[in-house]
Structure 1
Amino acid sequence: MVSKKLFIETLGCAMNSRDSEHMIAQLREKEGYETTDDLKSADLIIINTCSVREKPVAKLFSELGVFNKKKKEGAKIGVCGCTASHLGDEIIKRAPYVSFVLGARNVSKITEVLNRERAVEVDINYDESSFAFNDFRTSPYKAYINISIGCDKSCTYCIVPKTRGDEISIPVDLILREASRAVERGAKEVFLLGQNVNNYGRRFSGEHEKINFTELLRRLSRIEGLSRIRFTSPHPFHMDDEFIEEFARNPKICKSMHMPLQSGSSKVLRDMKRGYSKEWFLDRVEKLRSVSPEVSISTDIIVAFPGESDEDFEDTLDVMRRVKFDQIFSFKYSARPETEAEHFTNTVDDDVASRRLTTLQNLATDILDEKNKTHLGKIYSVYFEDLIQDYYVSGRSDNNLVVKVKGSDELLGQFRDVEITAIGRTILTGEIVG
């Protein structure tokens, strides 16, 4: 029997990538689909969407048009993810060749909507926190694991609560079982996913053991054969001392922390409803580095949020200079539908926003160049995960440095000591020394 072919394009965050893996698993197990990279041969085409910023939404309909022209006769097209959640049946109205729409909170229904013409399932209150998905992973070396769904924050710029619903923690026994199964199949690293991972345990659906994120980390670290634990993203507001101290002393927790700043101005942070101040953020960084000096810290920053003055922007630059982030993800503010900030009228001129973004990114580059020089000649334990061009294999150090060495697939899934011999902004080059 010839298997049916699935082509899936994933936009956006790691949670979207994991949702795509869940859909692939269900479609393989229940409908006999196998994945393909050839759009024209696919019987089912899925685009798993993002709506955090404006461009991915605009991209959706242009992509759908391309897919419709290239697909073979009889192939179905499905739209899933966050944009599906907030646009719903409008997608089919604008693109009537779309077969179904499946929201980010309804991933477990993929096999249900597949065979219902023009099905729309976008209930953001649907609870699939206890649904046991079939197993599929794009990488055998690393396991992405959702530990919560939804978001309880009310950040004025963010559409996620409108597309993923209220935050619900996934039961600890399901998480531990999934991690153990991944390790049994060869993964040495797990990557925990949630909108605010360190708010884990605030709410469960039904009667489940109540534990917090720090205790979850402790229990995961007891899994034999598991070498590394990573997670994203912790919320600065929930970075209490217990969490930071466990992060520092637990050898299985990778010493890499993503701390979304968003703005260095306490005034702008209040307008964003982030729940912390510039001073709190800097205090948490100081605490973190006092107990874990080798930690690398990355962040997200939005420039030109409505009402951001020159002084507010200078506060952001001040935090940049003081923290010296190892990596930043930075964007100009763009209004998103169904958010409070969509109605703010004190917008920043686009030319000003562009200049601020350039200034911020130039500073980040200068900081990164200086920090990268310190890695030359140092030795890091690297876990190799990917084959790349020109006979190189790449992996990551404990503190999230991307390192490549000459080698073959025999290195994949292995830890090796690597001495850094050359510096690049996004990847370091080294030689295996042990």
Structure 2
Amino acid sequence: MSKKLFIETLGCAMNVRDSEHMIAELSAREGYELTDNAKEADLILINTCSVREKPVHKLFSELGGFNKIKKEGAKIGVCGCTASHLGKEIIKKAPYVNFVLGARNVSKIGEVIHRDKAVEIDIDFDESQFAFKDFRSSPYKAYINISIGCDKQCTFCIVPKTRGDEISIPADLIVAETRKAAESGAKEVFLLGQNVNNYGRRFSGEHEKINFTELLRRVSAVEGIERIRFTSPHPLHMDDEFIEEFARNPKICKSMHMPLQSGSTEILKAMKRGYGKEWFLNRAAKLREMVPDVSISTDIIVAFPGESDQDYEDTLDVMRQVRFEQIFSFKYSPRPLTEAEKMTDTVDPEIASERLSRLQAYQDTILDEITATYRGREFDVYFEELRSDGYAAGRTDNNITVKVKGSEELLGTIRRVKITEVSRLVQYGEIVA
């Protein structure tokens, strides 16, 4: 009988791709099959996130729960960013954990499962040219890493300490992976990196030096690929060439994630983001001008150390001017190994909570106004998921989630849909072509 693998993935799309890599390696080289029942698993993996404090706390409660229900002889492994920065501490706190595997060491999964109490967390390890076996969570889209690590020094962010220095993956490998995905039926690729539009800054060894805009052109030339998405571009590197390619290339989906973090130039300076409020507004305005239907999403941190009432109002002002289609907003959470952790000018927790609530309520108002304009409009929707309620779900070119009554024959197809019912999270429609 085959061995069973259960994996829980926390955090970002890069973690999703790392989990896919581990599944592929364990399946091809070790004979594991996926299960969604942790009680029957021979190996339980948690692929962790450390961007905020809450997922780290969640890790140990999750570990305790898995330890109680695991079958005799089953192993537990902790992977990902929290593994990178806590390392041996995880095994000290949870001695039943069998191994710890950092976010920069995914390719070692086949080794560590055979070494009890193994800890592999080298953030200088280079996986940029490792030939992972193939596995995708969805047959309709493919996540493709284009770089690993991060060279930015944002004062609030632990990622450079968990994923190491930024290295770009050679373009020929990315194009080859894109071609393989297309040949297996995927119409959409999702390019991943901590700062995708900083692609090409550093390679491991001698490789052709190209930038992200040129990489987009090469990926879009792959026959069978109809949609290209990517995350996350850094506002600092959103030059005119990049925005113009985004606007005119019909295969590039017209949704852009622009992590703002704060609307205050002073706070952005304290965060070491490299741009100010006016630069961000300028880039967003150029996007809106060149692509009228573009959807723009963002990340916002409220109550960063030193944030004044005016700084907070500057953030609301950016929201008013840009009118984001989606925001991911959080109260500042001090992270270990970061400069901001040592900052003493903290914001009162009650004020922080009030600011976050008010910001989210304002975004709800903006979103209600935006979604009201969808009713009666028609969009091309790429269907990729069946829901349990008898609906098929997919996304428009500009990242609107749409559900229609339907079954498997819709999956993997792009259909014209008229929106009949709107809400903040998902729109409902009927197929018209």
| Shared fold, TM over 0.5 | yes
In structure 2, what is the Cα distance between the partners aligned to 1:330 and 1:258? Answer: 13
Instruction: Name the SS of the counterpart of 2:263 in structure 1.
Output: coil
Give the gaps of 5 or more residues in structure 1: none
Q: Deviations over 1:200-252 (max 9, x none)?
A: 00000001111000000000110111000000000000000000000000000
Q: Are 2:145 and 1:131 aligned?
A: no
The one-letter amino acid of 1:213's match is F
CA distance in 2, matches of 1:13, 1:303: 20
Indicate the SS of the match to 1:181.
helix
Matches within 5 A, 1:314-393: 314-393=313-392
Distance 1:351 1:263 in 2: 19
Instruction: Tell me how far apart the structure 2 counterparts of residues 94 and 304 of structure 1 sit (CA, whole Å).
Output: 31
SS of alignment partner, residue 216 of structure 2: helix
SS at match of 1:276: coil
Which residue identity does 1:389 align to in structure 2?
A: S
- Aligned residue type for 1:44: L
The one-character-per-residue Cα deviations of 1:86-125 (angstroms, maximum 9, x if unpaired) are: 0001111111111110000000000011101110000000
SS in 2 for 1:404: strand
Match of 1:199 in 2: 198
Report SS of the residue matched to 1:191.
strand
Which residue of structure 2 aligns with residue 54 of structure 1? 53
Q: Secondary structure at the match of 1:210?
A: coil
Does residue 277 (structure 1) correspond to residue 308 (structure 2)? The answer is: no
What secondary structure is seen at the aligned counterpart in 1 of 2:23? helix
Letter in 2 for 1:190: V
Query: SS of the counterpart of 1:74?
Result: coil
Say which SS state the counterpart of residue 336 (structure 1) adopts: coil
> Are positions 1:259 and 2:284 aligned together?
no
Structure 1 residues 333-368: Cα deviation after superposition (integer angstroms, max 9, x where no partner): 010000000000000000000000001000100000
One-letter code of the match for 1:119?
A
1:56-103 deviation per Cα after TM superposition (whole angstroms, max 9, x unaligned): 000111111111110000000000000000000111111111111000
**Partners of 2:295 and 2:237 in 1: CA distance:** 19
For 1:33 and 1:389, the matched residues in 2 are separated by: 27
The aligned counterpart of 1:312 is 311
The SS at the match of 2:428 is: strand
Aligned-partner SS, 2:275: coil
Q: Secondary structure at the match of 2:301?
A: strand
Query: Is the partner of 1:424 in helix, strand or coil?
Result: coil
SS at match of 1:308: coil
**CA shift for structure 1 position 288:** 1.2
Q: Structure 1 CA distance, aligned partners of 2:59 and 2:164?
A: 22
Give the Cα–Cα distance (whole angstroms) in 1 for the partners of residues 80 and 276 of structure 2. Answer: 32
User: After superposition, where does 1:2-401 map in structure 2 within 5 Å?
Assistant: 2-401=1-400
Give the deviation of 1:28 after TM superposition: 0.3
SS of the aligned residue for 1:254 comes to coil
What secondary structure, in the 3-state scheme, does the structure 1 residue paired with 2:6 have?
strand
The TM-score normalised by the length of structure 2 is 1.00
User: SS at the partner of 2:420?
Assistant: strand
Give CA deviations for 1:356-383 in whole Å, capped at 9, x if unaligned: 0001000100000000011110000000
Amino acid corresponding to residue 251 of structure 1 in structure 2? P
Q: 1:422 matched to which residue of 2?
A: 421
Measure how far apart 1:291 and its partner are: 1.1
By how many angstroms is 1:390 displaced? Answer: 1.9
For the residue of structure 2 that corresponds to 1:225, the secondary structure is coil
Q: Distance in 2 between matches of 1:315 and 1:94?
A: 42
Distance 1:293 1:131 in 2: 40
Question: Residue deviations 1:311-353, cap 9 Å, x none?
Answer: 0000000000000000000000010000000000000000000
Mapped partners of 1:433, 1:3: distance in 2 = 46
Q: 1:289, CA displacement in angstroms?
A: 1.3
Q: Does 2:408 correspond to 1:409? A: yes
How many residue pairs get matched? 433
Cα separation, 1, equivalents of 2:388 and 2:8: 23
**What is the deviation of 1:389?**
2.4
Structure 2: which amino acid aligns with 1:130? Q
Partners of 1:3 and 1:201 in 2: how far apart? 41
- Deviation track 1:395-417 (CA, whole Å, cap 9, x = no partner) reads 00000000000000110000000
Cα distance in 2, alignment partners of residues 289 and 324 from structure 1? 10
Amino acid at match of 1:343: K
Q: Counterparts of 2:66 and 2:389 in 1: how far apart (Å)?
A: 32
Amino acid at match of 1:341: A
The CA distance in 2 between the partners of 1:294 and 1:418, in whole Å, is 16
Greater than 3 Å deviation, 4+ residue runs: none
Structure 2 distance, partners of 1:215, 1:182, is: 20
Query: 1:24-69, CA deviations, whole angstroms, 9 ceiling, x for partnerless residues?
Result: 0000000000000111100000000000000000011111111111
Identity %: 75
Q: How well do the aligned residues superpose, as a CA RMSD in angstroms?
A: 0.5
Amino acid at match of 1:153: K
**Equivalent AA in structure 2 for residue 8 of structure 1:** I
Amino acid at match of 2:127: E
